[in-house]
Amino acid sequence: MSAQPVNPNLPPDHVTVFIDGVEMAAPKGSMIIQAADKAGIPIPRFCYHDKLAIAANCRMCLVEVEKMPKPAPACATPVMDGMKVITRSEKSLKSQRNVMEFLLVNHPLDCPICDQGGECELQDLSMGYGRSVSRFSERKRVVPDEDIGPLVATEMTRCIQCTRCVRFTAEIAGTYELGGMYRGENLQIGTFDGKPLTTELSGNVIDVCPVGALTNKVFQFKARPWELTARESLGYHDALGSNLFLHTRRGDVLRTVPRDNEAVNECWLSDRDRYSHQGLYAEDRAQRPLVKDNGEWREATWDEALSRAARILRDNGGDNLGVLAHPATSNEEGELLARLAQAAGTGNIDHRIFQHDLSDAAIAETFAMPVVEIEKADVVVIVGSNLRQELPLVHQRVRKAWTRGAKVHVVNPVDFDFTFDIAGKRIVAPSQLAAALSDEALREIAKAGNHVALIVGAVAENGPYAAAIRAAAKSFAQATGARLCRIPQGANAVGLARHGVLPSARDARAMLTDARGAYVIYGIEPGLDFADTESALRALGAAQVVAFSHYACRSTKAVADVILPIGLLPEVDATLTNLDGLSQVAAAGGKLPGSARAGWRVLRALGGELGANGFEFTDLAGLRSGIVPREVSPAASLAPSVAGEGLEVAMSTAIYRSDATVRRAPALQSHPLNQEPRAVLNSKDAAALGFSDGAVGKFSAGAGTATLPVAISDKVAPGTVWIESGHGATAPLGAGRVQAGRA
């Protein structure tokens, strides 16, 4: 290695290295393994992962470096100018084979029954570097397993102590739940306290594990990798639109794994997206068309059901009809719903079913700072959001920014849990969130930053003070130069806004408070998906309802007259538009249940039954070719009334109760993050009302009354009660104020 640069024409931050005789440029400070990967030169490894800190504890990547007497670990040896590395020399191969021999000393010979078999890094590398006969006759050690929850299965005897899982929970998830215990040959990986993993990203330890020590408990013993077919799809439970693969066998979705996309989800996947496929196979899945005669449900043919639906729409055209779509509805379905509303002569069409306050005519907007740039921010302000549960992988990006020195400030009605330190917090009642954004000290902090993200979440967007908070956030961004990132309320809220699923007359709240004669509801579970459940059920119950539904659930059957079974996203070809404005394509993976059909096909058939324009296409390509983004500017509606006395409600969505499919995934419902419905009060309010921790309280709003267990926590702002939506027990309570008393 010369003191003079080998190649003086390289940029000043690069050096020249030679790997297996191949000359290449590598950034200063990078490791040999990174340079080799960039050049496509394979070096075996177990502990190294390009998203995790370097541990250098498996030693599988030992290589020969000129002028170094001993083999060097490629993952932990920085490149130097003129360095010559040989990865396939006799010294390198002997070192790698010796390491493999030691790794296999205690590894059990259970490949035939191991879920990792067929996609195991240890299995693959042992074929190239392992011996056919072991030289060791000692008894293999056995490590007891511990139950770490309903999502991840353990077989720790297989563990090779690469510590990838330890580093993942520490660095990426930020929960520090796994670690090494004991020393030497007794070293084992575990949770210390024997409790289940509580991170919302726990399934990623399965992906990073190079052996079968940590596997997918839901998928366990279901199939072999070579039996599975991979289909590209998307996460549809939040607005990020994580890229993923559905692994199917004979049309059944057996597991979900991440698909790399650095601009969206990197190589990670939230547990909500990974395990929700269980909900596809719920007992109440809508499988056949149903019609109601004299209050009784019966199965019908598609022709009969479509004829009944068409008759309802013909009898209730114009302003008498309301069209309501779930905000995870695809772009293609949204386009056809807009055409259907136009054909019926109604301007009452909306997807903003979670929101109380649309008095500013707000619609979903793309992030002003792309997700990939959030990790580069130096100041992040989070307003009205339980970000860790609302957008787990955006929360992870904020954590990454924090590890690089960013200061994170929060303005919330509840001191929600985050996996990073908070530089400043303002925990105030929901009605004070807008005023808190006017705080001059907070604005000065934001002005001092060069790259500032202002993230506004569901607690703010869906509450009764949403318009005031949005105005305050916009003013804050204009005054400080912060980039405003309002989280779209729904997996495809941005796409539906672009495709015209917005009202030119009544919005979602208005068409339910001022009931219409008939409704089309699309992909909605009426008993749990509306902002104001009581008024929604009252309006729908008194009207004629055509339900395009994934589930024939009790609340749908209570209000509908016709149920048309449609496919969920993993079962259809569709596009969704995420919070960065990226339109992403999902391919059908699972088979449709029973005689259910893709939603666009059912809408096309109904449009044809009505003789409407815009339904003449014959396939999905024909539909997509005719889609033109629509410019719809919804009118402002009246602000909800929040007058009166009582506790202000801070309503957040329970992480695993966010939509109908997630609510039907048994593994997610067993997760410790999925808590029972409850009302959480500040200790001062609890004392004033005579509540003790665990007492049962009665909470009454204008729409209804809920009886809930009471929890006491000073993380809740005084004068506020924190309640999670998505539960039947909390459904009677909308945002606003409640009167509380002992049950």
- 225 is a domain residue: no
- 2 is a domain residue: no
CATH number of the domain encompassing residue 84: 3.10.20.740
- 184 is a domain residue: no
- 283 is a domain residue: no
Same domain, 500 and 619: yes
Same domain, 382 and 469: yes
Same domain, 376 and 416: yes
163-192 per-position pLDDT tens digit: 999 999 999 999 999 999 988 888 999 998
Same domain, 480 and 498: no
What's the whole-number mean pLDDT along residues 647-662?
95
489-517 per-position pLDDT tens digit: 999 999 999 999 999 999 999 999 999 99
What's the whole-number mean pLDDT along residues 215-241?
96
Same domain, 609 and 505: yes
Taking Cα atoms as reference points, which of 457, 475, 476 lies closest to residue 466? 457
- 552 is a domain residue: yes
With a pLDDT cut of 90, the percent of the chain lying above it is 88
What's the whole-number mean pLDDT along residues 444-455?
95
Tokens of 313: 């729409």
Same domain, 476 and 498: no
CB distance 329 to 319 below 8 Å: no
Is the pLDDT at 236 greater than 50? The verdict is yes
CATH number of the domain encompassing residue 653: 2.40.40.20
43-72 per-position pLDDT tens digit: 999 999 999 999 999 999 999 999 999 999
| pLDDT higher at 332 or 633 | 332
Confidence of residue 3 (pLDDT cuts 50, 70, 90): low
Same domain, 72 and 28: yes
Taking Cα atoms as reference points, which of 584, 658, 624, 660 lies closest to residue 233? 584
What's the whole-number mean pLDDT along residues 94-103?
94
- 566 is a domain residue: yes
Angle between helices 440-448 and 466-480 (to 10 degrees): 50
Computed over every residue of the chain, the mean pLDDT equals 94
What's the whole-number mean pLDDT along residues 325-351?
97
Give the pLDDT score at 263. Answer: 96
Could you list the residue range(s) of the whole structural domain that residue 552 is in?
A: 290-357+493-625
124-163 per-position pLDDT tens digit: 999 999 888 888 888 888 999 999 999 999 999 999 999 9
- 113 is a domain residue: no
Residues ≥6 apart with Cβ < 8 Å to 127: none
d(CA 660, CA 591): 19
Is the pLDDT at 552 greater than 50? The verdict is yes
Give the pLDDT score at 631. Answer: 81
Is the pLDDT at 354 greater than 90? The verdict is yes
From 82, 103, 124, the end of a domain falls on: 103
Confidence of residue 1 (pLDDT cuts 50, 70, 90): very low
Give the pLDDT score at 4. Answer: 63
CATH number of the domain encompassing residue 397: 3.40.228.10
Give the pLDDT score at 742. Answer: 86
* Number of compact structural domains in the chain: 4
What's the whole-number mean pLDDT along residues 723-740?
89
From 74, 103, 132, the end of a domain falls on: 103
Same domain, 550 and 482: no
Is the pLDDT at 86 greater than 60? The verdict is yes
- 167 is a domain residue: no
CATH number of the domain encompassing residue 332: 3.40.50.740
Give the pLDDT score at 184. Answer: 84
3-state helix, strand, coil in the chain (%, to 5): 30, 20, 50
Same domain, 300 and 332: yes
d(CA 724, CA 657): 9
d(CA 609, CA 622): 19
Widest CA span in the chain: 92
From 103, 135, 165, the end of a domain falls on: 103
Same domain, 516 and 409: no
Same domain, 472 and 500: no
Phi-psi category of residue 271: left, alpha or beta, with phi > 0 → left and psi -120 to 50 → alpha: alpha
Provide DSSP, 159-197.
Answer: -----HHHHIIIIIS-----EEES-GGG-EEE-SS-PPP
Is the pLDDT at 642 greater than 90? The verdict is no
Is the pLDDT at 735 greater than 90? The verdict is no
Same domain, 500 and 482: no
What's the whole-number mean pLDDT along residues 231-245?
97
